[in-house]
Structure 1
């Protein structure tokens, strides 16, 4: 029975276990936050005016009076016939 004595965890062992547990939970929380941010990100609409959809730009030009209704409908039809924003 003497074999089991004096093989307990020393002060450094408790430190290593505590640090390991904290590092484990930090890793788990970081992965969860990054996963939620990735899932929550909408890729449907690019941010900012530089990444605006062509139909939106066309509608804004029509609303400002830069183009008339006939030209708006013609260009809208051409955009939709070409497959939308990525139809090059």
Structure 2
């Protein structure tokens, strides 16, 4: 999975929200954030396609609804997400 994510310009993913803070229940989705270098590598359409495919892959693998957040976002909840997030996977070469 690491190589596939790296090829898509995703440099890392992690958890935030109820799973990161221990407040999850049977109805919680799994919230992931991602960091990318897509701006240097892809068009807007390719970026959206990558997000949709990543979400579908994670949902299939985890058997749960998945929510995605991009760290490059200018969303008003970005600060909350950054405070909660727990790194899950880095695509950095070792």
Shorter-normalised TM-score: what interval? under 0.3
Q: TM-score, normalised by structure 1?
A: 0.24
Q: TM-score, normalised by structure 2?
A: 0.23
> Which protein has the bigger helix share?
1
Q: Return the structure number with greater relative CO, CA threshold 8 A, min gap 6.
A: 2
Larger radius of gyration: 1
